[in-house]
């Protein structure tokens, strides 16, 4: 059984932070050989390599995740010799991934036309804030700005507060996910034609793709969605409800499910009450219904309420944090979390590889490695450089 559906493919990863490297992580998770390029270490630098190496709450544990399964090398792309080495690497690869500001690769003589001249089947994956074309393309674009432009920031949070972030770099991760999806589409096209192409993934467009019917709601009905907090207006009951030891989520807006919720609450008559008997009626009386359910859940423990919901077939769940995930039997049974050996962090646990494939499952083989850890392997085995050549290029700051 092969390890990873992308086994046998090679990707050269350039760029930094999340929007590009998360795409590389997804592909490495499923067996693609990912060679990550970072700037060489320079004397006097406060930090080195991808800034993700310094990120993490409490300890810098973000790079071990986003850099996992990758081979890290150093290369100075501003040096002509470094650019030549990159072209040689790309000529032996299937994909090139970058998330620099549009125009940067062209400035270095590393645009698609130049790189594909030596590799017509090359698939170049480009992730940016606004895309490679259009009036905003040259602008610096971070995930937060793309989230705002794509519309999700206006909808996140409570209506009584300013627009909120969702607690994650969701715009970056969405753009990276769409970039990975586009790369797989381009790979299928190459299988049929032998021709490579450019995958252009913009952060704001990746967010926009998630915006459901917000635009046609306005274009057809003049309706503008706004923040609604923990509810979806008109869809009830579906909310977070308080228990004696914390909140839980209950989703019982479908008629048949609502009937089961009423039985679980010991209030079967509510299912035929004209205020709640239909989807439309429940939506019109949403606040009143939520208050009624909250009155039932509040004095009980979350475990007691969840047990009642499960017994009656009502979708419900607690709001998980990291400790809950690590203690949960379902996470354990599906190996959703995995402990990864690391030379510095003794108890490193991270999310496993998703989605799960029955015949070619991915695997976390190693965490994000140290800066330049694979220099000799890549430069010698792939490009045939001698120890002396590698030492000279290292001394001169090229690698």
Average pLDDT over residues 371-396: 96
For the sheet with 95-98, list strands across it. Answer: 70-74, 33-38, 10-13, 95-98, 123-128, 197-202
Q: Is the peptide bond before 194 cis (omega within 30 degrees of 0)?
A: no
Catalytic residues: 172
All structural domains of the chain: 10-210+334-395 (3.40.50.10540), 238-320 (3.30.1540.10)
pLDDT band at 46 (very low <50, low <70, confident <90, very high): low
| CA distance linking residue 352 with residue 80, whole number of Å | 39
pLDDT tens profile 198-223: 999 999 999 999 999 999 999 999 99
Place of tokens 């432009």: 149
Strand-strand pairing, 349-351 and 337-339:
antiparallel
386 phi-psi bin (left φ>0, alpha ψ -120 to 50, beta other): beta
| CA distance linking residue 215 with residue 226, whole number of Å | 12
The token duo for 151 is 């519309």
Place of tokens 């790079």: 63
Task: Output the pLDDT for position 15.
Answer: 87
First CA to last CA across the chain, in angstroms?
36
pLDDT tens profile 137-191: 999 989 999 999 999 999 999 999 999 989 999 999 999 999 999 999 999 999 9
- Across the chain, mean pLDDT equals 96
Place of tokens 């490679």: 132
- The count of residues in the chain is 399
* 48-52, 253-257, 337-341: the lowest-pLDDT one: 48-52
């Amino acid at each position: 059984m092969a390890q990873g559906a992308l086994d046998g493919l090679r990707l050269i990863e350039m760029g930094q932070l999340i929007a590009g490297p998360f795409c590389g992580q997804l592909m490495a998770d499923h067996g693609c050989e990912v060679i990550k390029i970072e700037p060489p270490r320079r004397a006097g630098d406060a930090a080195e390599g991808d800034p993700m190496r310094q990120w993490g709450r409490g300890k810098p544990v973000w790079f071990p995740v986003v850099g996992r399964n990758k081979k890290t090398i150093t290369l100075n792309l501003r040096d002509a010799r470094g650019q030549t080495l990159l072209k040689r690497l790309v000529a032996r690869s299937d994909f090139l991934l970058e998330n620099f500001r549009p125009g940067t690769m062209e400035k270095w003589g590393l645009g698609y036309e130049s790189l594909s001249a030596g590799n017509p089947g090359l698939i170049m994956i480009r992730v940016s804030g606004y895309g490679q074309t259009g009036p905003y393309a040259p602008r610096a674009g971070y995930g937060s700005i793309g989230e705002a432009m794509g519309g999700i920031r206006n909808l996140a949070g409570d209506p009584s507060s300013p627009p909120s972030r969702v607690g994650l770099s969701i715009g970056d991760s969405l753009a990276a996910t769409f970039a990975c999806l586009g790369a797989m589409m381009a790979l299928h096209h190459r299988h049929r034609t032998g021709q490579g192409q450019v995958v252009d993934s913009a952060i704001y467009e990746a967010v926009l793709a998630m915006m459901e019917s917000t635009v046609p709601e306005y274009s057809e009905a003049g309706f503008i969605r706004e923040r609604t907090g923990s509810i979806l207006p008109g869809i009830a009951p579906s909310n977070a409800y308080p228990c004696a030891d914390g909140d839980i989520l209950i989703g019982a807006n479908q008629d048949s499910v609502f009937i089961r919720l009423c039985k679980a609450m010991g209030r079967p008559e509510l299912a035929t009450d004209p205020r709640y008997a239909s989807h439309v009626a429940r939506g019109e009386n949403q606040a009143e219904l939520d208050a009624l359910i909250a009155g039932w859940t509040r004095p009980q423990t979350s475990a007691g309420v969840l047990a009642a919901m499960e017994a009656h077939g009502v979708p419900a769940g607690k709001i998980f944090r990291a400790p809950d995930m690590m203690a949960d039997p379902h996470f354990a049974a599906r190996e959703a979390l995995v402990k990864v050996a690391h030379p510095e962090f003794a108890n490193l646990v991270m999310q496993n590889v998703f989605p799960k494939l029955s015949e070619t499952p991915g695997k976390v083989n190693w965490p994000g490695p140290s800066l330049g850890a694979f220099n000799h392997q890549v430069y010698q085995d792939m490009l045939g450089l001698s120890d002396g050549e590698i030492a000279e290029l290292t001394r001169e700051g090229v690698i």
